[in-house]
Amino acid sequence: MRPGVRLGVDVGQVRVGIARSDPAGTLAFPVETLKRGKTDIPAICEMAREYEALEILVGLPLGLSGKAGKAADLARTYAEELAVQVHPTLVKLIDERLTTVQAQRSLRDSGITTRQGRGVIDQAAAVVIVQHALESERQSGEPLGTTVRTP
């Protein structure tokens, strides 16, 4: 298992959820929810520097069939823009099918309704992305995801 903080990003049309791992790469936890706009990508770049991130994991919301739709295209474009600005930190796309569903279920189980939890659902989904990547690497010995290439 590689040591180092991983940042997780759950990209939505309105908000971006951010999570991170501890430096040992053991546990993921929520950081914040950013509003999409001119400041979200620079804020993520600043977090990457502050936490000395090993990599940034951007959720790729593929359909259950594995095909990319509009949401996946949005996430891919976002990851490409982020990769250019945060270079040389690696940005990877991680299959995130059902992470929002898992996040909503976890919040509901904690007594938080979807309406109450709108601001934290994106963070919770980002936690699921990071935790999945950590567990996958721990089991396989290989980092998860597809690296976004920069020009």
* pLDDT tens sequence across 106-133: 656 666 665 656 667 888 889 999 999 9
Residue 100 falls inside a structural domain: yes
pTM of the model: 0.88
* pLDDT tens sequence across 21-43: 999 999 999 999 999 999 999 99
In CATH, what number is assigned to the domain containing residue 13? 3.30.420.140
Give yes or no for a cis peptide into 88 (omega within 30° of 0). Answer: yes
Number of domains in the chain: 1
Residue 129 falls inside a structural domain: yes
pLDDT at 59: 95
More confident residue, 95 or 20: 20
**DSSP conformation letters of the chain:** ---S-EEEEEE-SSEEEEEEE-TTS--EEEEEEEESSSSHHHHHHHHHHHTT-SEEEEEE---TTS---HHHHHHHHHHHHHHHHHTTSEEEEEE-TTHHHHHHHHHHHTT--TTTTHHHHHHHHHHHHHHHHHHHHHHHSS--SEEPPP-
Q: Which two tokens stand for residue 118?
A: 């709108």
Contact 19, 31 (CB under 8 A): yes
Q: What is the rounded CA–CA span in Å between residue 86 and residue 119? A: 25
**Alpha-carbon torsion 16, 97, 27, 139, what sign?**
negative
Residue 50 falls inside a structural domain: yes
Residue 145 falls inside a structural domain: no
Residue 148 falls inside a structural domain: no
| pLDDT of 82 higher than 70 | yes
Domain membership of residue 17 as a residue range: 6-136
Q: What is the rounded CA–CA span in Å between residue 88 and residue 80? A: 13
Residue 151 falls inside a structural domain: no
Residue 1 falls inside a structural domain: no
pLDDT at 64: 66
